[in-house]
Chains A and B, each alone.
Chain A
Amino acid sequence: MASLLSQLKDDIRFSEGLSACMNCGICTAVCPAAAYFDYDPRRICQLVQTGDEQDLENLLKGEEIWMCGQCLSCKARCPRGNVPGYLIQALRKLSQQSGHFIHSREGRKQIRLKRRIGHSILETGYCVHPQMVEPETHPEQGPVWVWALEQGADLYRRCGSNYYGEGEGGLRKMAPGVLDELEAIFEETGGLRFWEAIERGAEELKLNTEP
């Protein structure tokens, strides 16, 4: 099996994201994840730069790589043209593909996200749409959101939206064949295989937790 490092190097976002880090911390200084979590993108760059297989494996199994919020503020500042955010994307991809993601609490959440956001794409053609944002799990949306969902089509159509209707416009129901095309793209380009890897991780977890 190819080393983790060589698998990482196959991801274009790895070579685009990290050429040589000078350890200056300019990325961490503006990183919203570093402001909230005990997280440091500079440290990740340094660690990956050493190329140590054991360190890499620990990284892929650990919590840290899941802290990044992908705002890419780091890209605007790095004096070496590195993009810690891209590096994180490559690490997360490998963590899921290799199954290492199930070893971390944050990594395991990918299963939930995949079933929710991922499936929504192929079922509706949207990543997010109003009926997904249930007030029970989204209390932060406030009373106005409860009201908006209660009004549903009445409110949305008043604002010019098609709200799950046939035809044109915002929030329209996808025309026949559109979702088939999306699925064909996911099939052809490895999107579905990638999801299978996530589900394999879910299976493994189930096996490990069941008596």
Chain B
Amino acid sequence: MTPLLWKDYQKEVPDNHYFFVRSCIRQTFFPGAEAALLDILRNSLGLDVFEDRRHTTCTGIAYHCDLVPLETIMTVIARQLSLMTEAGYRHLLVSCVTSFGIYLEMLDMWQHHPEMLEQTREALWKSTRRSFELPVALVHTSDLVYHLRKPIADRSPHRLVDKSTQRALRVVDHVGCHYAKIFPAGGFGGAEFPSVLSGLAETFGGEMVDYPERRHCCGFGFRHYLLQENRGYSLSNSRIKFESMEAFAPDLILTNCPGCNMFLDRWQYTLAEMSGKTYDREGKGIPVLSHEELAALMLGRDPWTLGLQMHQVQLEPLLDKIGIAYQARQKYSMLAGAASLPGEPSVLKVSFQ
């Protein structure tokens, strides 16, 4: 039998004309990432990416906290699709990995249970007088960045290489669980060896490092993070990952899920405070970037417009290695003038100017 290996699986991604939906978490913690992505797609690559201001949360976080019935989230998703239909688009571009998983799941259920699609159409019509078509392509923003990695790399003045030693930077990836674990055919490379991030890092000249807990969940756990007393769940699962990657001395953690990006950043601070331990050699933590943040940096976007000062683990050591110039003084200055500086953690070393 000719083996179909998911590892080699290439998802079909349209070249152009997308209807874009945002991520609650990315908008909250990494506002510059979504802005940079749209800027790259529209202005650097000349793509048509449309956003309708009437789109809302997909309610995915609440759904996975078991606060929203299936019929309800299905109809909310249908409403988003009706906005897409109304604008004349059939390619959906999703910023959030939780949302991406939700869209995949709803499309899958509608395919296998057509009666649910009919019920949803009816519910949406009754409640909003809207109707919708199904998308012909469902694309996560990391899919699109991966799909466009060569044109992006062609325009990039930088490489994921230590400029002073010419050593390829060591990259570990963490692909969000809902990217391909639920529906392997929804993502590049399937559930076990998704290539969506590793392919991107390698295109920029980085060296991918496989580590034991690569496929372990970051530990979001939805309700567990959202309840303060349960956050030990999130923290402990991220810790399993850090402990596992530490020996491989990565220069960068690359993510595609907004939640994972935030957790892998913040939990390094929290663990340092709680246990005195960081997972790099210098006590500064391992820098974390998402696919859009990496693409924007590689294309020479300003790190502070990109919002990298909103990361708790500082990015300067990585920028210095790559040889990306930045205005240190601009980091904390605001439109209205100079701002105050953030406080300093007691363990994790930060570089404030």
B residues in contact with A177, CB < 8 Å: 54
State whether B57 touches A69 (Cβ < 8 A): no
A residues in contact with B305, CB < 8 Å: 158-160
Q: How far is the CB of A51 from chain B (nearest CB, A)?
A: 22
State whether A127 touches B62 (Cβ < 8 A): yes
**With A126-B56, A150-B340 as given contacts, are A118 and B62 in contact (CB-CB < 8 Å)?**
yes
Task: Tell me if B17 is interfacial: C-beta within 8 Å of chain A.
Answer: no
Complex Cα distance, B310 from A146, in Å, reads 10
B residues in contact with A174, CB < 8 Å: 54, 56
Which of A40-48, A135-143, A201-209 lies on the face that meets chain B? A135-143
Task: Tell me if B101 is interfacial: C-beta within 8 Å of chain A.
Answer: yes
Task: Tell me if A82 is interfacial: C-beta within 8 Å of chain B.
Answer: no
- Chain A positions 121-155 with a Cβ under 8 Å from a chain B Cβ: 121, 125-130, 133, 137-138, 140-148, 150-151, 154-155
State whether A32 touches B56 (Cβ < 8 A): no
State whether B79 touches A181 (Cβ < 8 A): yes
A residues in contact with B336, CB < 8 Å: 154
What 0/1 readout, one digit per residue, does chain A (178-211) give for beta carbons within 8 Å of chain B? 1001101111111100110010000000000000
What 0/1 readout, one digit per residue, does chain B (151-162) give for beta carbons within 8 Å of chain A? 000000000000
Task: Tell me if A70 is interfacial: C-beta within 8 Å of chain B.
Answer: yes
State whether B66 touches A93 (Cβ < 8 A): yes
Complex Cα distance, B187 from A8, in Å, reads 31
Complex Cα distance, B70 from A93, in Å, reads 10
- Chain B positions 182-219 with a Cβ under 8 Å from a chain A Cβ: 182, 184, 191-192, 215-217, 219
Task: Tell me if B221 is interfacial: C-beta within 8 Å of chain A.
Answer: yes
B residues in contact with A182, CB < 8 Å: 56, 76, 79
Complex Cα distance, B26 from A128, in Å, reads 10
Task: Tell me if B321 is interfacial: C-beta within 8 Å of chain A.
Answer: no
Task: Tell me if A33 is interfacial: C-beta within 8 Å of chain B.
Answer: yes
A residues in contact with B178, CB < 8 Å: 71-72
Complex Cα distance, B145 from A182, in Å, reads 31
Task: Tell me if A103 is interfacial: C-beta within 8 Å of chain B.
Answer: no
- Chain B positions 47-98 with a Cβ under 8 Å from a chain A Cβ: 51, 53-54, 56-57, 59-62, 64-72, 74-76, 79
Complex Cα distance, B336 from A14, in Å, reads 55
Task: Tell me if A61 is interfacial: C-beta within 8 Å of chain B.
Answer: no
State whether A190 touches B71 (Cβ < 8 A): yes
- Considering only CB atoms, which chain A residue lies closest to B259 in the complex? A128
State whether A109 touches B223 (Cβ < 8 A): yes
Number of interface residues of A (CB under 8 A): 83
Cross-chain contact of A35 among B66, B237, B343 (Cβ < 8 A) = B237
State whether B233 touches A32 (Cβ < 8 A): yes
Which of A18-26, A52-60, A164-172 lies on the face that meets chain B? A164-172
Complex Cα distance, B29 from A163, in Å, reads 12
- Considering only CB atoms, which chain B residue lies closest to A132 in the complex? B28
User: Quick one: which of B61, B68, B79 has the most chain A CB within 10 A?
Assistant: B68
What 0/1 readout, one digit per residue, does chain B (310-337) give for beta carbons within 8 Å of chain A? 1110000000000000000000001110
Q: Chain B interface: which size bin?
A: 35 or more
Q: How far is the CB of A179 from chain B (nearest CB, A)?
A: 8
State whether A117 touches B233 (Cβ < 8 A): no
User: Quick one: which of B66, B130, B224 has the most chain A CB within 10 A?
Assistant: B66
State whether A126 touches B181 (Cβ < 8 A): no
- Considering only CB atoms, which chain A residue lies closest to B128 in the complex? A181
- Considering only CB atoms, which chain B residue lies closest to A171 in the complex? B27
Complex Cα distance, B267 from A32, in Å, reads 16
User: Quick one: which of A16, A69, A172 has the most chain B CB within 10 A?
Assistant: A69
State whether A143 touches B67 (Cβ < 8 A): no
Task: Tell me if B228 is interfacial: C-beta within 8 Å of chain A.
Answer: yes
Cross-chain contact of A69 among B26, B219, B269 (Cβ < 8 A) = B219
Task: Tell me if B288 is interfacial: C-beta within 8 Å of chain A.
Answer: no
State whether B232 touches A36 (Cβ < 8 A): yes
State whether B126 touches A188 (Cβ < 8 A): yes
Complex Cα distance, B61 from A7, in Å, reads 25
Complex Cα distance, B180 from A182, in Å, reads 28
A residues in contact with B13, CB < 8 Å: none
Task: Tell me if B177 is interfacial: C-beta within 8 Å of chain A.
Answer: yes
Task: Tell me if B35 is interfacial: C-beta within 8 Å of chain A.
Answer: yes
Q: Which 5 residue pairs are nearest across A and B when measured between Cβ atoms? A: A160-B35, A69-B221, A143-B343, A159-B32, A147-B342
- Residues on B lying within 8 angstroms of A by beta carbon are 22, 24-28, 31-32, 34-36, 39, 51, 53-54, 56-57, 59-62, 64-72, 74-76, 79, 101, 109, 113, 116, 123-124, 126-128, 130, 177-178, 180-182, 184, 191-192, 215-217, 219-224, 226-228, 230-233, 235-237, 240, 266-267, 269-270, 304-307, 309-312, 334-336, 339-345
Excluding A127-B62, A191-B69, 9 further A-B contacts by CB distance (< 8 Å) are A16-B109, A30-B216, A69-B222, A71-B181, A113-B227, A121-B62, A126-B28, A182-B76, A185-B128
Name 7 A/B residue pairs within 8 A (Cβ), A-sorted: A33-B233, A72-B177, A73-B181, A113-B226, A145-B266, A158-B305, A170-B22
- Residues on A lying within 8 angstroms of B by beta carbon are 11-13, 16, 30, 32-33, 35-37, 66, 69-73, 75-76, 89, 92-93, 96, 109-110, 112-114, 116-118, 121, 125-130, 133, 137-138, 140-148, 150-151, 154-161, 163, 167-172, 174-175, 177-178, 181-182, 184-191, 194-195, 198
